[in-house]
Every structure is written in structure tokens, then in C-alpha cells.
Amino acid sequence: MNEEEIEMLITQTINGAVLTIPSYLEDIKQNQETLKVENPQEFVYGMIFGMTLGMSGAVLSAQKEMPTAEEQIKVRDTIYKYIPEIREQIFS
């Protein structure tokens, strides 16, 4: 998988995850008694970040060969580039 394909995969994953933010926040609000989440925005931020890392890692691992350290760093760096956008979607 080349860098352009990796970036496109990450972008699609992030865009899909960002669309779920309102429903996650509402679900936490409705189930606060059960979930006992102190900061719903930080919780959702962690979920979105984890989802993106997990999905990207899973796709890379499904290749013929295990992802190289360089590919893993590229994934991380690409995801980190989107952190301000993700945070704005959650905290604004």
C-alpha cells in the first residue's frame, strides 16, 4: 500500500468516525448513569482516535507482509495531522 492509499484510507476512516460524534455524545448523555463518564467529549475523542488507529492498523496488517515501522509511523503521523479537526468537531 503506497502513501497515497494509506492517507486516503485514514481520511475515509476519520470522516466516517467524525460523523458518529453527535450520536456518541447523545448516547453518553442518555446513559450517563450506567456509563459514568466524567467528560463525554474526552471520552468520544479517545474513541474516535482509537477507532482510527485500530482501523488503519488492521488494514495495514491485512497486507501480504506485516507493516514496516516506517508505514506505522506514517499512519500515526497522518492521523496526528487530523487531531485539530477531530477536536474541533467534538469540543465546539
- pLDDT for 52 equals 87
Q: Are 49 and 14 in contact (CB under 8 A)?
A: no
Domain boundaries, the chain: 3-91
Please tell me the predicted confidence (pLDDT) of residue 2: 75
- Nearest CA-CA partner of 48 in 5, 4, 91, 7: 91
**How long a stretch of residues is the chain?**
92
Q: What was the pLDDT predicted at 47?
A: 92
**Count of CB atoms within 10 A of residue 67's CB?**
19
Predicted TM-score of the model (pTM): 0.81
pLDDT (0 to 100) of residue 5? 81
Give tens-digit pLDDT for 27-78.
999 999 999 999 999 999 999 989 888 888 787 778 777 878 888 888 888 8
Distance of alpha carbon 49 from alpha carbon 87, whole angstroms: 10
For residue 62, what pLDDT is reported? Answer: 80
Judged by DSSP in three states, 83 sits in helix
